Structure 1
């Protein structure tokens, strides 16, 4: 079972496919880089559902934070470099120093702050390798929701009606519980009741 962050780190460290992805991303030497979102979440849910095969991912999200060059074109160059290393992987590279403008938000201070503003707590996860090749995990909202199969909005996506609407639209489109049957959508009303003293 997965109870602690160390359990997630161990699972990824023992997964050679995931480690190859991380080593490829690390080879770009990007500042404040992470492989995030579904890459981590889907692994956890696959293991907890005892799947024998990995659930296919629509993309592999590599993020980084570099205020010195926020041109979108450079992200495409990084994607192309990754494709030369692993052509079959659906790479997506995004500089989080640029993404606040895409999301109509105030500038982010780091990649981890950007991860904290992902729509769901269960998706707000990232991993990378340190200089010794060890896996590091960031989980700004903890791992409780992902290991308990709960889908709920991050605080950022609970603040404004427009964001709440986007969150509901996204969750409905993703339809995660059609793949992972234990996944439960935590209703906003239920969440608010739980937060009431």
Structure 2
């Protein structure tokens, strides 16, 4: 793990009032092992590296881990609370204690384990604001790929699904400096 990149990530998010406000809203839900990941973090870094204004997010991916209530209905209730805070955002809440079933993986132990099964190393990053108002992050594959604009599959993700996903996302059109790898052992 590169602590310099971790500090840079935290500083970039701390300077972004929009992101900090969203982190506060999610923190105040007081969910167990709760983070915001994927495009929320990825787009911030890629946009800055491309000198772009904020790229619109498909949704705000909120993950948490609560094995005491892993029903989809519980996540929908949380989404309803979030819509009341900000109805202009598309909130997506997923309890990672059940997502292994949908994904055909072994049971995840926590959110860090869960995001290690996400498609790309650069997207397998999540952040949260703790109750001391400090930003924390998870990055099971580190932050190098994210900051170096390198898109490659995580070792745990199906390569065929990854290739289709990359094709459908059309990220190179939004962020032309990206280097996209299509194999697990690509460096």
Alignment of 1:35-54 (within 5 A): 35-51=36-52, 53-54=53-54
- Name 1:182's counterpart in structure 2: 177
CA distance in structure 2 between the aligned counterparts of 1:96 and 1:33, rounded to whole angstroms: 10
- Name 1:68's counterpart in structure 2: 68
Report the number of matched residues.
Answer: 184
> Does residue 105 of structure 2 align to residue 105 of structure 1?
yes
How far did residue 59 of structure 1 move? 0.4
CA distance in structure 2 between the aligned counterparts of 1:12 and 1:41, rounded to whole angstroms: 11
Kindly report the root-mean-square deviation, in angstroms, between the aligned alpha carbons of the 2 structures.
1.2
CA distance in structure 1 between the aligned counterparts of 2:38 and 2:31, rounded to whole angstroms: 18
CA distance in structure 2 between the aligned counterparts of 1:6 and 1:155, rounded to whole angstroms: 26
Summarize the Cα distance change of 1:99–1:187 in structure 2 as closer, same or farther, 3 Å threshold. closer
Alignment of 1:89-168 (within 5 A): 89-157=89-157, 163-168=158-163
How far did residue 190 of structure 1 move? 6.7
CA distance in structure 1 between the aligned counterparts of 2:184 and 2:92, rounded to whole angstroms: 34
Deviations 1:108-127 (A, max 9, x none): 00011111110000000000
Which of the two has higher C-alpha Rg? 1
CA distance in structure 1 between the aligned counterparts of 2:102 and 2:154, rounded to whole angstroms: 19
How far did residue 187 of structure 1 move? 3.4
Alignment of 1:77-92 (within 5 A): 77-92=77-92
CA distance in structure 2 between the aligned counterparts of 1:66 and 1:148, rounded to whole angstroms: 33
CA distance in structure 2 between the aligned counterparts of 1:116 and 1:126, rounded to whole angstroms: 11
How far did residue 137 of structure 1 move? 1.2
TM-score (norm 1): 0.91
Runs of 4+, deviation exceeding 2 Å: none
CA distance in structure 2 between the aligned counterparts of 1:133 and 1:16, rounded to whole angstroms: 13
- Name 1:160's counterpart in structure 2: none
